[in-house]
Amino acid sequence: MEKFEHEYNAEQIQVLDGLEHVRKRPGMYIGSVSIRGLHHLVYEIVDNCVDEALAGYCTHIKIEIEPGNIICVEDDGRGIPVDIHAKTKISAAETVYTQLNAGGKFGGDSGYKVSGGLHGVGASVVNALSTWAEVTIQRDGGIFQMKFERGKTVQPLTRIGDSDKTGTKVRFLADDTIFETLEYDYETLESRFREMAFLTKGLSISVEDKRGEEVKKADFCFEGGLNSFVEFLNKNKEKINQQPIYIEKEDGDVPVEIAFQYTTAYSENIYSFVNNINTIEGGTHLEGFKRALTKTFNDYAKAHNILKEKDGNLQGEDIREGITAVISVKVREPQFEGQTKTKLGNSNVAGIVQSLVNEALSNFLEENPNIAKAILEKCVSASRAREAARKARELVRRKNALESTTLPGKLADCSSKVPEECEVYIVEGDSAGGSAKQGRDRKFQAILPLWGKMLNVEKSRADKIYNNDKLQPVILAVGAGIGNDFDITKIRYGKVIIMADADVDGAHIRTLLLTFFFRYMRPLIENGNVFLAQPPLYKLSKRGMKDVYCYTDEELTENLNAMGKDGVNIQRYKGLGEMNPEQLWDTTMNPETRILIQVKLEDAMKADEIFTILMGDEIGPRREFIEANAKYVKNLDI
């Protein structure tokens, strides 16, 4: 039987006092009881397996969604310890699954240098929030099993056979009395586990959905690590350096892995991780990377006369235009800050990352002068565009000052000046704008009509945007600037509502506006301020009955079966302009009766990929996307 370098027995499992009522307050532990919280259960169990991989003891993880939404997670790690725990007087494995804050990651010599997840609360929280759970462990020459119902032990750890293998298998059914839904989204889980495999070089992760007639399966294993990650993120983009620049080094017990690549795009996409946790708010590791990037490229440009002595330095935003980067650090005792506790606060990490990147990038640029020149040409071009954008912005400000107003002429503003209670409808077309202006509640509803096709910002820099007569009114109406100057505290409306026709042109306008908000006003989406209005698709009229509005084809069928099909006049609305002001108010603008869809940013990587496919220069990926999704089209104009 294999002998491991680090002992991992009951004495390594520490129990921290202070049980919480997980079932009464699940949101405290998993964020919510929505589908996001449901997925969190799976992540917690898989995180434990990944921690075994990070410690060097696990090479394969298998995740299955069984019929009935049962989750099964199996790894080939060391197996949870099965001996009796000195403090709890029950097996260490049962302790881990029944005691909050019990685990092998709080100290002791268990072999865990670093770990992700909820640091010990994961297994017990999943158990507490499951209708039932079953844990099977292979280690010490045996097969052991224990069973639970809603967190309580119904079968203590029992030896059920012999085995010369090691590993842990966990099966559980989430509790339907706690969660809003038990339906897992395969694509969401697949995306998360792909990310985990990228971040743990050489780890094999398979995920399989056995619920439907057609089994879905994906196998992930990336020997290239973050190199493979960046190549995946940039698969639909035109690259400047064909191979990502890769840095992997350990300094002061902090392993650092970074890969980055430049594309011809205008946006920057930098993703940072600490112990495999996505630090969406960044932190010291990201700061160190940005500082090193700015200093190293400026030093090289000056030394090689790409920037003359009289030229000012390139700004960080110039150097990051078009970059795709992934930064991953492992920190023994991470300190997290920020609103969502996803911002790294360890001050020493900034210096470590900056030093490593300075050295490695300097060497790379000296050894690859052609790539260095191509990247710096883009940086200098970005610098000129930034300067042009600044002048355009100043021109807009001066022009508005002369006109004694900072609001666009076509905007019909509301009387209230309290952003939280105000909303602006961005309306397609003058005729619909006219109806919306007449039908609105002037106290809190503003109307901004747009006409014609606007700029595709995916293919444009900020200087073009400031000079665009279609987007300038939107920028002025929102009132918070764009890009790096955007300030969420200055928005003039709590709700920015896109109201477009239910046809192909309307969908195009919505996509163009959402691309603009995502690329240049992203905090507006992240803060939950962007909405899509849902005008009705049909009006049903029948003598002696009140008109009925239907928002979906399903509603149409349902109402025709209530009403009876005889004598019913069906009007299909193609445009907002077909509705008079009263109808528009009743169906689409009245807060008591309207339907609004809030635009949320669940996955920034996925959003970036979709906008790149739909609005970017590459035609091939767009054709593939259209062919793959054609079957979902509902409103097709021919």
> Which among 503, 526, 578, 603 is annotated as catalytic?
503
CA distance 159 to 139: 11
Arithmetic mean of pLDDT, 486-497: 93
Tell me, what's the pLDDT at 339? 65
Report which of 474, 473, 455, 453 is spatially closest to residue 465, judged by C-alpha positions. Answer: 455
CA distances (Å), origin 226, targets 200, 221, 260, 570:
9, 12, 9, 56
Say if residue 105's pLDDT is above 70: no
Our CA dihedral for 543, 547, 548, 549, rounded to 10 degrees, sits at: 140
Secondary structure E strands in 163-268: 167-174, 204-209, 216-220, 245-251, 254-262
Q: What are the phi and psi torsion angles at 21 (to 5°)?
A: -85, 85
* Residue-wise pLDDT tens digits, 241-264: 999 999 999 887 899 999 999 999
Q: Is 105 helix (H, G, I), strand (E, B) or coil?
A: coil
The secondary structure of residue 480, as a DSSP letter, is S
The secondary structure of residue 457, as a DSSP letter, is G
Percent of the chain at pLDDT > 90 equals 51
Arithmetic mean of pLDDT, 602-627: 73
Say if residue 107's pLDDT is above 60: no
Say if residue 16's pLDDT is above 50: no
Say if residue 403's pLDDT is above 70: no
Q: What are the phi and psi torsion angles at 383 (to 5°)?
A: -60, -45
* Residue-wise pLDDT tens digits, 157-209: 999 999 999 999 999 999 999 999 999 999 999 999 999 999 999 999 999 99
Arithmetic mean of pLDDT, 417-437: 88
**CATH number of the structural domain 405-535+581-632:** 3.40.50.670
42-56, 385-399, 459-473: range with lowest mean pLDDT: 385-399
Say if residue 59's pLDDT is above 90: yes
Helices (H), 427-521: 430-439, 462-466, 472-478, 504-520
CA distances (Å), origin 314, targets 199, 289, 302, 306, 335:
31, 16, 10, 11, 32
Say if residue 320's pLDDT is above 60: yes
13-22, 100-109, 377-386: range with lowest mean pLDDT: 13-22
Measured over the CA atoms of residue 11, residue 16, residue 19 and residue 24, the dihedral's sign is negative
Ordered DSSP codes for 603-636: -HHHHHHHHHHHHSS-HHHHHHHHHHHGGG----
Tell me, what's the pLDDT at 1? 52
pTM of the model: 0.77
For residues 518 and 614, is the Cβ–Cβ distance under 8 A? no
CA distance 199 to 627: 31
Other Cβ atoms less than 10 A from the Cβ of 161: the count is 10
Say if residue 283's pLDDT is above 70: yes
For residues 389 and 461, is the Cβ–Cβ distance under 8 A? yes
Pairing, β 245-251 against β 254-262:
antiparallel
Q: Retrieve residue 193's tokens.
A: 């586990």
CA distance 44 to 122: 5
Tell me, what's the pLDDT at 629? 65
Tell me, what's the pLDDT at 600? 87
Is 505 among the residues known to form the active site?
A: yes
Is 51 among the residues known to form the active site?
A: no
Other Cβ atoms less than 10 A from the Cβ of 164: the count is 9
Tell me, what's the pLDDT at 111? 55
Q: What are the phi and psi torsion angles at 319 (to 5°)?
A: -75, -25
Q: Which residue has the tokens 């919280």?
A: 37
CATH architecture of 10-220: 2-Layer Sandwich (3.30)
For residues 156 and 141, is the Cβ–Cβ distance under 8 A? no
CA distance 293 to 364: 12
Helices and strands, counts by H and E, the chain? 19, 25
Give the burial class of 353: count Cβ atoms within 10 A of its Cβ; 0-12 exposed, 13-18 middle, 19 or more buried: buried
Q: Which residue has the tokens 């902090």?
A: 254
Tell me, what's the pLDDT at 483? 84
Say if residue 112's pLDDT is above 90: no
Our CA dihedral for 484, 490, 492, 494, rounded to 10 degrees, sits at: 90
Q: Is 530 helix (H, G, I), strand (E, B) or coil?
A: strand
Is 441 among the residues known to form the active site?
A: no
Which helix (H) or strand (E) element contains residue 594? none
Size of the chain, expressed as the number of residues it contains? 638
* Residue-wise pLDDT tens digits, 362-380: 999 999 999 999 999 999 9
Arithmetic mean of pLDDT, 526-547: 88
Ordered DSSP codes for 32-69: -SSHHHHHHHHHHHHHHHHHHHHTT---EEEEEEETTT
For residues 186 and 209, is the Cβ–Cβ distance under 8 A? yes
- The mean of the pLDDT values for the chain is 86
The CATH number of 226-386 is which of 3.30.230.10, 3.90.1150.10, 3.40.50.2300, 3.40.50.300? Answer: 3.30.230.10
Say if residue 17's pLDDT is above 50: no
40-54, 166-180, 311-325, 399-413: range with lowest mean pLDDT: 399-413
Q: Is 259 helix (H, G, I), strand (E, B) or coil?
A: strand
**Domain residue extents for the chain:** 10-220, 226-386, 405-535+581-632, 542-568
Say if residue 19's pLDDT is above 50: no
* Residue-wise pLDDT tens digits, 117-146: 544 458 889 999 999 999 999 999 999 999
In this prediction, residue 269 has a pLDDT band, given cuts at 50, 70 and 90, of very high
> Which among 501, 586, 608, 609 is annotated as catalytic?
501
Query: What would you measure as the largest C-alpha separation in the chain, in angstroms?
Result: 86
In this prediction, residue 3 has a pLDDT band, given cuts at 50, 70 and 90, of low
Q: Retrieve residue 620's tokens.
A: 């091939």
CA distance 372 to 301: 9
Which helix (H) or strand (E) element contains residue 517? helix 504-520
Give the burial class of 505: count Cβ atoms within 10 A of its Cβ; 0-12 exposed, 13-18 middle, 19 or more buried: middle
CA distance 268 to 319: 10
CA distance 250 to 235: 29
Report which of 324, 316, 199 is spatially closest to residue 261, judged by C-alpha positions. Answer: 324
Say if residue 396's pLDDT is above 70: no
Is 428 among the residues known to form the active site?
A: yes
> Which among 208, 209, 428, 608 is annotated as catalytic?
428
Arithmetic mean of pLDDT, 607-628: 73
Say if residue 409's pLDDT is above 90: no
